[in-house]
């Protein structure tokens, strides 16, 4: 690496220059946000339905394996050729396909991991099925659901780099252009920014999770109170049941 | 369909070469990674204070995008960017990150009364580990190996962006020629490879843990 490293060169951070790091970062976040949102809207309701009723669990269990084995680069190439372009549509479809399995599987697994006696108690108190789902099952399933969401976001942030391969923007541009120009410093810069973004988003979601998940489940705030042992303290880790998965990027 | 058969007939050797390279690039790091993860996971159980650091570090490694690792490794290792060694090292790293936790969790899931019984029968630590704890942890560990194998197989093709990627080469070729046949062949073979690997590991698990079935049948 000669001269100023790509990342530290102020010109590469210039907002006025198209194709500078902030532009690429924004585009990358845009692809990520849009595909996670669409994927969530598709997978979450289906996961709730399957987890609540217990019907179709075969679909939820196997979605994860199929999703893991589908090569995103292949799917994206196929979509671009098949749809002959169409802007960001092929990328978003390919990334949504990546988001759906972990969220579907984790929503299902989360609802299944809820203590049946808690559901029985809620029914016995006269809660309607919707109340049981949204006020008992879902809050208790949240740690596992978050696990799936975080896995999905990690995969999408990593995989959105392939957008550059089909001529779109995003941080993958640094990798693809760097490779084409034999500019190794640029490729390393791209690798570093993507990795930092992935880790940063995961930490952010971890923070959100801390504040969204009920303290009754995490044991937070119980350290001084000498109450009954919480789920976390008693050594049960519902999120363990979900195997982590790695995106195709 | 005809188009795909024609493509396969005309490019038989290229497709087989890509498939062969894909298998090597996925299986080699899987084996290396699992062998390295066993001692790391064991350390996390033997020295309890290491468990959470191992978990955090492996989570961090796992969150780094593979394309980024493929690109950064030549700088660290001094290899050429087109060298397959980068892919093998990167995927081995992910396998260790995934499996270290699984091995630790598997060993921790062994019923303490069983290890105590083994100790009482005169098993020393090493023999107890090989003959009692590892076999009992095998279902959990092999479940992790299934995940690692399938994700490795799918990750290899990303290497095609850098010029070494087994079946991924079919994707880039199809994209450059704007021709769907090689892409479809690549996707189908990649999924089939993942399915075969998955079935092989399930079969291995049934073979090495016959007692899990005996309990279910009883």
Q: Rounded to 5 degrees, what angle do the CA atoms B157, A93, B71 make?
A: 35
Give the rounded percent of residues in chain A with a pLDDT score beyond 70. Answer: 86
> What letter does residue B82 receive in the DSSP assignment?
T
Shortest Cα–Cα distance, B25 to chain A (Å): 15
Q: Picking from A45-59, A127-141, A221-235, B135-149, which range would have the lowest pLDDT averaged per residue?
A: A221-235
Question: What pLDDT was estimated at residue A27?
Answer: 94
B68/A176 Cβ within 8 A: no
- pLDDT at residue A246 tops 80: no
Report residue A167 CA to chain centroid gap.
24
Closest CA to B129 of B15, B46, B7, B21: B46
What would the pLDDT profile of A177-219 be if each residue is shown by its tens digit?
888 888 888 888 888 898 889 889 988 998 999 888 888 777 6
Structure tokens at A93: 């479809």
**A140: its two tokens:** 């208790």
Average pLDDT rounded to a whole number, residues A161-187: 87
Residues in B closer than 8 angstroms to A232, CB to CB, are none
Res A10 pLDDT > 70: yes
The total number of residues shown for chain A amounts to 249
Q: CB distance from B57 to chain A under 8 Å?
A: no
Cβ-in-10-Å burial (0-12, 13-18, 19+) of B83 comes to middle
By C-alpha distance, the chain B residue nearest A79 is: B180
Contact B70, B90 (CB under 8 A): yes
Asked if B155 and B91 touch (Cβ cutoff 8 Å), the reply is yes
Residue from B60, B65, B95, B155 to probe the interface with A (highest A Cβ count within 10 Å): B65
Give the model's pLDDT for residue A100.
92
| pLDDT value at residue A221 | 60
Task: State how far the Cα of B129 lies from the Cα of A110, in Å rounded to an integer.
Answer: 33
Is the CB of B198 less than 8 angstroms away from the CB of A154?
Answer: no
Please give the angle made by the CA atoms of B28, B34 and B37, to the nearest 5 degrees. Answer: 135
Asked if residue A248 has pLDDT above 50, the reply is no
Match 């809820």 to its residue by tokens: A114
Distance from C-alpha of B205 to C-alpha of B199, rounded to nearest angstrom: 10
Residue from B40, B93, B107 nearest B65 by CA: B93
Residue A82 contacts residue A75 (beta carbons within 8 Å): no
**Distance between CA B211 and CA A235 in Å, rounded?**
27
| pLDDT of A225 higher than 80 | no
**Alpha-carbon B135 to chain mean position:** 19
**Crossing angle, helix A89-112 and helix A57-69, to 10 degrees?**
140
Q: Indicate whether this complex's ipTM tops 0.85.
A: no
Residue A238 above 80 pLDDT?
no
Helix (H) or strand (E) holding B114: helix B112-120
pLDDT, residue A236, reads 43
Query: A190 vs chain B: nearest CA distance in angstroms?
Result: 7
Q: Is A84 left (phi over 0), alpha (psi -120 to 50) or beta?
A: left
Above 70 in pLDDT, residue A95? yes
Q: A188 touching B, CB under 8 A? A: yes
A181 interfaces chain B, CB cutoff of 8 Å: no
Average pLDDT over residues A136-163: 90
- The values of phi and psi at residue A22, to 5°, are -60, -40
pLDDT at res. A242: 45
Indicate whether A233 pLDDT > 80.
Answer: no
Of the listed ranges A33-37, A238-242, B38-42, the one predicted with least confidence: A238-242
CB B168 within 8 A of CB B158: yes
Helices B180-208 and B210-217, packing angle to 10 deg = 80
Cα A212 to Cα A76: distance, rounded to the nearest angstrom: 35
**What is the C-alpha separation between B183 and A193, in angstroms, rounded?**
30
Burial B52-82, CB ≥16 within 10 A → b, else e: eebeeebbeebbbbbbbbbbbbbbeeeeebe
pLDDT of residue A166: 86
Q: State yes or no: pLDDT of A245 exceeds 70.
A: no
pLDDT at residue A86, rounded to an integer: 77
Tell me the shortest Cα–Cα distance from B200 to chain A, in angstroms. Answer: 15
Query: Higher pLDDT residue, A241 or B158?
Result: B158
- State how far the Cα of A28 lies from the Cα of A36, in Å rounded to an integer: 12
Average pLDDT of chain A? 82
Q: How far is CA B31 from CA A159, B26, B37, in A?
A: 25, 9, 10
Q: Which residues of A touch B198 (CB under 8 A)?
A: 65, 69
**What is the rounded distance in angstroms from the CA atom of residue B119 to the CA atom of residue B28?**
36
Give the mean pLDDT per block of 10 residues along chain B (218 residues). 84 90 95 96 91 87 80 84 88 94 92 92 92 92 92 89 86 89 93 93 90 67
Instruction: Name the residue with higher pLDDT: A84 or A125.
Output: A125
Residue of A nearest to B94 (CA): A246
Place of tokens 């995490």: A218
A176 touches chain B (CB under 8 A): yes
Could you read off the pLDDT of A119-144 as tens digits, one per residue? 999 999 999 988 999 999 999 999 99
Q: Say yes or no to pLDDT of A99 above 70.
A: yes
Of B69, B67, B129, B135, which is closest to residue B96 (Cα–Cα)?
Answer: B69
pLDDT at B216: 59
């Amino acid at each position: 690496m000669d001269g100023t490293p790509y990342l530290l060169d102020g010109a590469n951070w210039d907002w006025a220059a198209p194709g500078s790091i902030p532009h690429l970062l924004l585009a990358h976040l845009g692809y990520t946000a849009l595909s996670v949102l669409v994927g969530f809207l598709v997978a979450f309701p289906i996961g709730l339905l399957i987890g609540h009723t217990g019907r179709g669990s075969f679909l939820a269990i196997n979605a994860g394996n199929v999703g893991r084995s589908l090569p995103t680069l292949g799917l994206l190439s196929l979509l671009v050729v098949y749809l002959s372009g169409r802007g960001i549509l092929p990328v978003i479809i390919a990334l949504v396909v990546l988001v759906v399995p972990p969220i579907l599987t984790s929503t299902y697994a989360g609802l299944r991991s809820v203590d049946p006696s808690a559901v029985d108690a809620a029914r016995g108190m006269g809660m309607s099925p919707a109340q049981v789902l949204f006020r008992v099952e879902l809050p208790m399933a949240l740690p596992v659901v978050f696990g799936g969401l975080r896995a999905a976001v990690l995969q999408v942030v990593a995989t959105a780099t392939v957008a550059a391969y089909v001529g779109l923007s995003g941080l993958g541009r640094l990798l693809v252009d760097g490779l084409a120009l034999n500019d190794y410093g640029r490729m390393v810069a791209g690798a570093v920014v993507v990795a930092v973004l992935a880790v940063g988003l995961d930490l952010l979601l971890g923070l959100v999770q801390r504040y969204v998940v009920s303290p009754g489940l995490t044991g937070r705030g119980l350290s001084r109170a000498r109450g009954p042992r919480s789920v976390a303290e008693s050594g049960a880790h519902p999120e363990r049941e979900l195997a982590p998965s790695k995106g195709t990027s | 369909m005809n188009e795909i058969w024609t493509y396969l007939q005309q490019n038989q050797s290229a497709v087989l070469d890509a498939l062969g390279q894909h298998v090597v690039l996925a299986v080699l790091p899987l084996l290396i990674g699992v062998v390295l993860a066993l001692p790391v996971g064991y350390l996390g159980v033997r020295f309890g204070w290491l468990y959470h650091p191992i978990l955090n570090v492996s989570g961090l490694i796992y969150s780094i995008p593979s394309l980024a690792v493929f690109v950064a490794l030549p700088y660290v290792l001094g290899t050429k960017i087109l060298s397959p060694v980068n892919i093998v090292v990167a995927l081995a790293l992910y396998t260790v990150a995934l499996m270290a936790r699984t091995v630790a969790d598997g060993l921790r899931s062994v019923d303490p009364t069983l290890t105590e019984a083994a100790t009482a029968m005169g098993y020393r630590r090493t023999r107890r580990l090989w003959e009692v704890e590892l076999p009992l942890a095998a279902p959990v560990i092999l479940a992790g190996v299934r995940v690692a194998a399938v994700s490795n197989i799918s990750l290899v093709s990303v290497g095609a962006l850098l010029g070494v990627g087994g079946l991924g080469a079919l994707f880039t070729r199809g994209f450059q020629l704007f021709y769907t046949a090689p892409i479809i062949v690549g996707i189908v073979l990649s999924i089939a490879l993942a399915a075969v690997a998955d079935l092989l590991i399930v079969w291995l698990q049934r073979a090495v843990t016959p007692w899990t079935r005996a309990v279910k049948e009883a």
